[in-house]
Amino acid sequence: MEKNIHKPKWWDEFLAFAVKGNAMALAVGTIIGAAFSGITKSLTDDVIMPIIAIFMGGIDFSELKLTLPRLFSEPVVDEAGNVILNTLNYGNFISAVINFLILALVVFFLVKGLNKLAAIGKKKEEEAVKEPEPPAPSAEEVLLTEIRDLLKNK
């Protein structure tokens, strides 16, 4: 017994989109972007921030925070009896901003390079498409044209 399953009209259109080159390129780009994001995060946290910390007296940026007061509640205590502080972790934010700037810079240069390559390719295509100029007329053709013009004028 075969069931007649009704497919929505958009299903075939969706399948064509999902396996099209653009959708696959987007998926691959997203995966590579996520991996590259991990690399830049490591570069920021493990290389750049320690170097900056040297010049700031050994401060670990991930530890930079501002303790905010509790205005309308009693202090919150964890199971070990430690007071849980309400903190504004601006050091992590600074690291994230540096991470973003590195990513933006890399993407900028990548797009700039791709645009330059596309312009070179387009220029070569235009040169290839240009029609060659017709060859100059031979001496015989010039002479015959002059004779024709003389006969026409008489």
What number is the average pLDDT over the span 18-30? 76
- Cα separation of 135 and 130, whole Å? 15
Q: Would you state the structure tokens that stand for residue 32, as one six-digit string?
A: 């590579």
CA 102 to chain CA centroid, Å, is 12
Read off the pLDDT of residues 89-105 as tens digits, 9 standing for 90 and up.
888 888 888 888 888 88
Amino acid at 21: G
Task: State in Å, rounded, how far the first CA of the chain is from the last one.
Answer: 97
State yes or no: pLDDT of 61 exceeds 80: no
Scored b (16 or more CB within 10 A) or e, 73-108 reads eeeeeeeeeeeeeeeeeebeebbeebbeebbeeeee
Instruction: Write down the mean pLDDT value for the chain.
Output: 82
- Cα separation of 98 and 111, whole Å? 20
Whole-number pLDDT of residue 87: 86
Q: Tell me the C-alpha to C-alpha distance, in Å, between residue 152 and each of 91, 140, 145, 149.
A: 92, 18, 10, 5
Neighbours of 135 (CB within 10 A): 6
